[in-house]
A and B are shown apart, each in its own frame.
Chain A
């Protein structure tokens, strides 16, 4: 192994060990409420750090920078949407949901609409969304290991899976809260250090992106194509096929063959091909992406079809999907009261903003330092490769590369463990048997954790790999098409019925899950249909809302009788001091004066 690989593996191991130790020492889970919401004893700053740490996943750490490298300003939509989604969660449902005392969507659905069937449907969607979300996390872990060590990605995915399952099963969430706050700061450091170094070197180089030219290879570069890719260049491009050979436009080409790709022509290179470019050669870019640096700096500069539609659909998914993510909602309960919850929210928004600015900066700089990723198709690796591209593969580059790898690893651990806690809770309380007795339930949670983790680990080994930020956006789309209408209408509209909710979720869920599955299977026709399969929210979200409203109106006789009292409870500010949520009601005397 190279110095870089040794440094990175050491750093990754340190993060894994530190997380597990903090988790194990932090607390031994005894009661179910301890396990799930950390007994509400967490301060705003720690909790804000933990929320951000949990929210900022592989998609954010690696994927966003990769998209910035390829798409430029347009990629800003992802982080803007991820951040703004948090705001809509805060404005529309955070406080009412907290007052309801339901700390998962299935709990809320049952409380609000009194339907076991609806509850079960919600549980199923929690699992579906959670697994879609875990998938890119585990693939990201695999990519990190593959990039730094050259091992197969599945080894990294498997290791990440085992560590996360162990942390959650043995520590519960109090420990996870501390671990995740720690992981946020680790991630931030892992981005800030390379960003500072790269910015200094970048300005030292005198390079500018404000020029009508494509990025260039600084040195003679050998590129291993990691995914099938269609490339095009603005100038004639001289390419030599490397020792491993390559399949170009469906034709196997012998090693050492020199080709010239005329300006504007499109060439399809299959996975596993090896191409060599000379120093100073222009970098070809994937078809439809901005080729020239100055175009890359302007919004909507790619040649893709229906960009407006695609952007709106993405925005809708991220704005409305965040509130339906299983691991995000539960977090609000680990604040001692509503005031602290709001303070946490401000902390979170600030922390998210700083993080995304750094990621965007790194993505932009990687267009100068690691443009070969545009050819290899592995733009997700941009952040990981930047340190050695800037500093060289000596000791300094190795150390910085190790820190970044550790940060990426922390990103998977944090998000995955938060998701697993939520999935395990839903699995054990709604789907697995043996939920009645309190002691039994903690044990059930542990086996549920293992079960919830195994499925995505298995999936991660054979599903088509899209860009991480895009795969995660698919999970957002499903959440926006199912839980968002349920939560928003459930909180703000007294007319919602259980049947309406069920049919609305089935409609939105079928459309979005169908589209997501097609995307993950690699089915992508051209034109509007293709855009909608990759970004289904603009169709599936209105469909879900509409179905929910229409069916509710038709079945309005089945409205639950206690709706008015319940809505009052949701909307009365908690400082009325009248309402205790269910968690405390289980553990403490109800009438304790506040």
Chain B
């Protein structure tokens, strides 16, 4: 398995490259703020529910009130964030990784 040794060197080459550093940076800059946004969104709902019950009980239509609408929106927001993340990964991360790979190995 000489390949393992070679592979190791390639790791280090890739790690040293500025493209790779930038790639990691970009990924982190996306993942962490996004997680913060979605956490805050959930926590705000709980806070509203306990401290602004009147607001949450505001009627929208028939049996539906604002609390219910925001509650159901939590599903929507989870889905939206996932979609945004997947788009981001396909658009930004994959092409950048491709470029690094070409740099390291030559065109495949």
Contacts and interface: CB of A to CB of B under 8 A. Distances in A.
Interface in A368-419: none
Interface in A188-208: 208
Contact of B101 (A298, A300, A357, A576): A576
Given A83-B78, A590-B3, A594-B108, A299 B67 contact: yes
B58 to A, nearest CB: 10
In this complex, which of B15, B82, B100 has the most chain A Cβ atoms within 10 angstroms of its Cβ?
A: B82
B72 A357 contact: yes
Contacts of B81: 87
Contacts of B53: 298-301
A493 interface: no
A298 to B, nearest CB: 4
Interface in B1-30: 1, 3, 7-8, 10-12, 14-15, 20, 23-24, 27
Given A91-B35, A308-B50, A315-B42, A575 B97 contact: yes
A41 interface: no
A315 B46 contact: yes
B11 A569 contact: yes
Interface in A208-222: 208-210
Q: How large is the interface on A (under 10, 10 to 19, 20 to 34, 35 or more residues)?
A: 35 or more
Given A575-B98, A576-B104, A577-B108, 11 more contacts: A73-B71, A80-B42, A80-B71, A83-B74, A90-B85, A92-B35, A208-B63, A315-B46, A345-B86, A573-B94, A578-B14
A210 B82 contact: no
B78 A349 contact: yes
Contacts of A307: 50
A235 interface: no
Contacts of A79: 75
B69 to A, nearest CB: 10
Given A299-B53, A308-B46, A353-B78, A88 B35 contact: yes
Interface in B55-74: 56-57, 59, 62-63, 65, 67-68, 71-72, 74
Interface of B: 1, 3, 7-8, 10-12, 14-15, 20, 23-24, 27, 31, 34-35, 38-39, 42-43, 46, 48-50, 53, 56-57, 59, 62-63, 65, 67-68, 71-72, 74-76, 78-79, 81-83, 85-86, 89-90, 93-94, 96-98, 100-101, 104-105, 108
B68 A297 contact: yes
23 contacts: A80-B74, A88-B35, A92-B31, A210-B62, A297-B63, A297-B67, A298-B53, A298-B65, A300-B49, A308-B46, A308-B50, A319-B42, A339-B94, A346-B79, A353-B76, A565-B12, A571-B24, A572-B97, A573-B97, A576-B14, A577-B105, A578-B11, A593-B108
Given A73-B71, A208-B63, A572-B14, A298 B78 contact: no
Secondary structure of the B contact surface, majority rule:
helix
A466 interface: no
Nearest to B10: A578
In this complex, which of B20, B65, B75, B85 has the most chain A Cβ atoms within 10 angstroms of its Cβ?
A: B75
A353 B79 contact: yes
A312 B83 contact: no
B3 A577 contact: no
A576 B42 contact: no
Contacts of B101: 575-578
Contacts of B72: 76, 357, 360
Contacts of A353: 75-76, 78-79
Interface of A: 73-74, 76, 79-80, 83-84, 86-88, 90-92, 208-210, 294, 297-301, 307-308, 311-312, 315, 319, 339, 342-343, 345-346, 349-350, 353, 356-357, 360, 565, 568-569, 571-579, 590-591, 593-594
B20 to A, nearest CB: 7
B16 to A, nearest CB: 10
Given A87-B38, A353-B75, A299 B85 contact: no
Nearest to B58: A298
B26 to A, nearest CB: 11
Contacts of B90: 339, 342
Contact of A576 (B62, B82, B97): B97
Nearest to B24: A571
B67 A298 contact: yes
B10 to A, nearest CB: 6
A88 B24 CA distance: 18
A128 B96 CA distance: 42
A91 B94 contact: no
Contacts of A298: 53, 56-57, 65, 67
B75 A91 contact: no
Contacts of B8: 565
A84 B41 CA distance: 11
A467 B89 CA distance: 39
A80 B39 CA distance: 12
A345 B14 contact: no
Nearest to B63: A209
In this complex, which of A350, A353, A573 has the most chain B Cβ atoms within 10 angstroms of its Cβ?
A: A573
A311 B67 CA distance: 15
Contacts of B42: 80, 84, 315, 319
B75 A80 contact: yes
